[in-house]
Each structure stands twice: as structure tokens, then as C-alpha cells.
Chains A and B, each alone.
Chain A
């Protein structure tokens, strides 16, 4: 009955419609939460620097100069590109950080994306189908959880050659269980709901029900988990590179730079401190954003959040 009624054309202007769209989505809440907004902007800026800056900085990052060995930071004597100093081979730290940023973002983003897509799909199917399929898939997830992630990664990357693809694959597999469990738990609850029954009554196949009815409701939670995972996957990837089983030259990420800088820790602190700080800033922004997403995603907490930001605005007036 509702479906047959025509949707009334909105007489409002474009500006009003954009405003209404903002009010409906969480974007309006995001704008009102300063920390979350700053975190989002920082992340966007870092991604842009990584994607646009890396090709430009690549040549400078690999340029070695004996004269610039251990050139200290915060000096513009050799141009702004050496403002963060130079490493033991006289390479610009800033240029290396920009090049490393791209690899770090690609590895973390690809690993999180892969784990989220595969884990959520398996989790939804597992929860929806149930029975022995569910039991078997959950045991596989247990296998991954039983062994500490770093140990598994060490064992696998020890055998395979260090490369971006292998690093992403290992990180993605070790992070699968989280998505699998989250998606499965939600699907278990959702499949008993009336709208799923209705879909089945009109003859929808299982796959269609999962795609059209369950996926949209599982997705917000998965997004929140993914944002939370982005920071920890970035840390894990950097840790593997630090241990020498992640990426190796010519591929370079922030973890590789830390492990190289470590060799002359006492001589040039900046070669170790700056790449680590880049990781901390990125991870902190992602964690702030996911913390906020979690709070605004939970209706009870979202109400509290809206009330809190409203109070803050009142206080500012």
C-alpha cells in the first residue's frame, strides 16, 4: 500500500534539501563534534598527502647525499624538504615519510578492506545458514584466534617473500575473525525478524535476503569496527616491518623507516621519532573517529552525544 503511493515532490530549494540531508545523516553530528571533525580532516589530509605527494617526493626520498648525513631537523638551510632532517644516508626524512605514508595507507586500507569484505560475507552466510557450515566456519575462526597474530605472521612471512601483497594477505587473515563474529552475531538476531520472514514469503532466495535485508543493517557496525581496526592494523603492519618480515627496500613504510632509524638512535633521534609520530597521529585520528562513530551509532549514546554537543553550544552562546 505504501509502495504504490507516489513520493511527493519536494518543493524545497536545493540548499534546503542539502540541509535536510545533512540533518538526516551523521554528518550533521560530525560537524558539531570538534574532535571527530578534526580527526576526519586530519585523516583526509594525510591520505591526500600520501596519494598526491608520494609520486612527487619519490625521487627526493631516494636521493642520497654524504654532505647531508644526519642533517638535524628544524633547519631550513637546505630547503623545506629537509626541515625534518636527514637520515644516515643523507635522505630527506620528510620525503621518506610522505613516500612511506602511501605504503602504510595502502597496506592498512587494503588489509582492513579485504578482511571486512571477506569476514562480513562469511559471517553473514554462517549466521544465516547455521548448522554444520556455521560450526565449521566458527572453528576456522577459532584456529586463527588461538595463535597470537604476530607469531602466525612471522611464520607465514618467514616462508613467503616479503611483499606488499603477502603483508596485506597475512594481516587480512589474522583480522578476519572480528568481522566474522560481529556479522554472524547480528545476522543470528536479524534472521528471526519479520521483514526477513516477509522476504521469504514472497519467494526471495537466501542470497537475496542476505544482500537486500541483512547486509544494510550489518554494514554500520562493520564500518565502525573497520575504523577501529584501521589504527591497529597500521600498528601491526609497522611492527612486522620493524621486525624485518614486513616490507623491505625498495618498498618502504613507516615501520621500515623506524627500524632503519633505530640503527643510529643515539646519533640521530629524528630518524626514529618522526616516523613513529606519523603513525601515532594517524592512529590517534582513526581511533578518535571510531570512538565517535561508536558513540553516535548507538542510539542511546547518540542521544547523549547530541545532548552534550547541544549543551556545549548553549554554553558558547
Chain B
């Protein structure tokens, strides 16, 4: 188990290093950021001063070495838009996003597990078809459009919910629903598939023959054995919630990593983009690590091997 975890951690870190290298060279592809940050009519002297100040007059290999050294010190440079270190700007936005994603993922599991189980208990029934229809529908709705229509109907027309901000509990409803939209359909289908398989397994049929109720069978016996694929996909989707967070911030002005990244894109703040890719990458690696630990808790066979 320990060997497996350390191997996973090493490969993930190599992957992250690869991404950072790609981001670095992409940034250099466009030439000096001076043309981005300085006004169009900036003089040659101003450009040279800018390049000297930020080290862009150095040869590329030297710049790369500098960049790698800085990454290890968590120094991604200054955010030109926020006037503070990029790493601080990104890290201070993480808690809100993690909280939002955690709430959304918890509610997603609370919805997907019963729905998927009901579908698996009555395969090809009306309930099953309706639940599959629900999954296909959630997979077909763009999340940004769902958020906008939610604002239009619930906030503008009916006046039930606030359009933005996070003052009251009500203002959480639409952002959480937007984040849940795609994961809930996928997870329902995963639960259904995994439960179908375990419900047909010999030990469940045996327990059924001994007179256990389906409810007890499904939630006591089958669910625990169906847990592994559910955990895998839930972990995967939790990482993907960064995508949703970007949309949520763009529609609801929700503070968090999404807001920081969207601002960085609009203000061409490359230091923050680099820091954001790094911090989110680390967060995803930690999440995968957590998923592996949950695996071990759910399945004793993994703990031993």
C-alpha cells in the first residue's frame, strides 16, 4: 500500500512538472510579456527596462533554471493586476472554492447513490428509464447556460434567489446546483452500473435467498462492494469541479479560484495563471491521494497488498 502510494505520488509530481514546463514554454512562445503589459506606444527603452526588471533579457535556458528555482520557493512572481505575489493571490482564493466543491460533491453523492440504486434494483423499468433520461439530460445542458437560465427564472422573474454574492444561504443554491449539474448525472449512471453488477453477484443472491430485504441488501451488502468505481469517478469529478468553479465565478461573481483565474485571463496576468495551474495541480494530486486512502478504508484487500 505504502509502495503504491509513493509510486502514485511520484508519477503525479512528474506529471505536474511536465505541465509546468509546458506552461513555461507556452508563455515564452509569445515573446516578451512587455508587449502585453506595456502600452502600445511604449518606447524601446521602456521595453528594455521592463525586460531587464523581470529577467526576460536572459537566455531561455537561464530563464528556465530561474523559473524552476522560483517554483520550488513557491515564487511565481508578482501579480500585475492584484499587486501582490501571484502565489498569495491564488492560495487565498482556494478555501472558498474547496468549500463550495465539497458541499456540491456531498450533495451529488446524496442524490446519485439513491437514484442509481433504485435504477439498478429495477433494471429496464419505468423508474430506470426516467433516471437514465435524467442522466442524459444533465450531460446535455451547458453548465453556464443552466446558471444563466437559473438566474433568469429564479432570481429575475420569480425573485426567489439573489443574483450574485454569497450573503445568505439562498445565494449558495444556484452555484451549488451549477457545480452539481454534470457530476450528478455521471455518478448516477456509475452507481447504477456498479450496483447492477454486485446485485447479481452470488453472495447477494445467496443473502436474498435467505430472506434479507432488498433495501438491506442494497445498502449493506451491495453498496459497499460497488464503492470502488463510485469513489474513483467521484474523485475524478471533484477535481473537475475547478472547471465548474470558473463558470460559477463568471456567472455569479463567486469569489474563489475561478474568479482569480478568469480575472487573470482578462487582465493578461500570466504570473497568476502559472501559479493557478500549479496550485490546482497540487490540489488535484492531494485529492487523488485522498481517494487512494478512501479506497484502502473501503476495501481491506487494498490495505493488505
Contact = CB atoms under 8 A, between A and B. Distances in A.
Chain A bound to chain B: yes
Interface of A: 139-140, 142-143, 145-152, 154-156, 158-159, 231-232, 235, 238-239, 242-245, 255, 258, 262, 265-266, 269, 272-273, 276, 279-280, 283-284, 286-288, 291, 304, 308
Contact of A287 (B26, B139, B151, B242): B139
B74 interface: no
Interface stretch (B13-21, B167-175, B293-301): B13-21
- 4 closest A-B pairs by beta carbon, nearest first, are A276-B145, A283-B140, A150-B243, A284-B140
B152 A272 contact: yes
A132 B266 CA distance: 41
Interface of B: 11-12, 14-16, 18-19, 22-23, 26-27, 29-30, 124, 132, 136-137, 139-145, 148-149, 151-152, 156, 239-240, 242-243, 246-247, 250, 261-262, 264-266, 268, 270, 273, 276-277, 280-281, 284-285
Given A139-B11, A243-B250, 18 more contacts: A148-B240, A151-B277, A154-B265, A154-B273, A235-B143, A239-B143, A239-B243, A242-B142, A245-B265, A255-B142, A258-B142, A258-B148, A265-B156, A272-B149, A276-B145, A283-B139, A283-B141, A308-B124
B160 to A, nearest CB: 15
A239 to B, nearest CB: 6
A146 B141 contact: no
A276 B144 CA distance: 9
A287 to B, nearest CB: 5
A244 B29 CA distance: 21
A288 B261 CA distance: 34
Nearest to A145: B15
A274 to B, nearest CB: 10
A146 B278 CA distance: 11
Contacts, number: 138
Tell which of A139, A142, A159, A232 has the most Cβ of chain B within 10 Å. Answer: A159
Contacts of B265: 154, 158, 243-245
A146 B19 CA distance: 9
B148 A280 contact: no
Tell which of B18, B27, B29, B285 has the most Cβ of chain A within 10 Å. Answer: B18
A243 B246 contact: yes
Given A143-B18, A291-B136, A156 B26 contact: yes
A143 B284 contact: no
